[in-house]
Amino acid sequence: MSKKDFKIIFAIALISMLLFAFAGCTAVDEVTKMKGKGYQQDGSIDYMHDYMAWKVTFVKKDSEGKIVEKVTIYKCTSMSAASTFYDFHKSSINENHVIQKNFDKVYIGTKNAVKDAV
């Protein structure tokens, strides 16, 4: 293999990795990740339209069944849609919840749950 071939293969691999990183996980990947952290899925995955691809909510309950942590993950169709969604909802967040944007996802919930989800 020539040096030129190696550079082309390396560039393709690098671009593929970057596209995968920016594309993000699917809703099913989020479910798997959050279940591994002790959360339960609260309801079904809602597939949406327009600027929203999907949303899914997770809760963590104490031994009595009371919800102690909750987060909803919104997967937007683009980073600009996520910014618009974030800006629209940040003023309505109460003192018990936080909102965080990460690329094309917006997380709304309790501080610890959002930290676990991101």
Task: Report percent pLDDT > 70 for the chain.
Answer: 87
Q: What are phi and psi of 13, to 5 degrees?
A: -65, -40
Question: Is the pLDDT assigned to residue 23 strictly greater than 80?
Answer: no
Tokens for 105?
Answer: 């996802």
- Angle at 16 (CA atoms; ends 102, 33), nearest 5 degrees: 45
Q: Could you give the CA distance from residue 114 to residue 61 in angstroms, rounded to a whole number?
A: 15
Q: Which tens digits make up the pLDDT trace of 70-89? A: 999 999 999 999 999 999 99
Q: Could you give the CA distance from residue 19 to residue 17 in angstroms, rounded to a whole number?
A: 6
- Angle at 24 (CA atoms; ends 23, 28), nearest 5 degrees: 125
Q: Give the residue among 16, 14, 118 at the shortest CA–CA distance from 74.
A: 118
Residue 2 is predicted with a pLDDT of 78
Whether 117 contacts 58, CB under 8 Å: yes
Beta strands in 1-118 (DSSP E): 40-41, 46-47, 52-61, 67-76, 98-102, 105-109
Question: Is the pLDDT assigned to residue 18 strictly greater than 70?
Answer: no
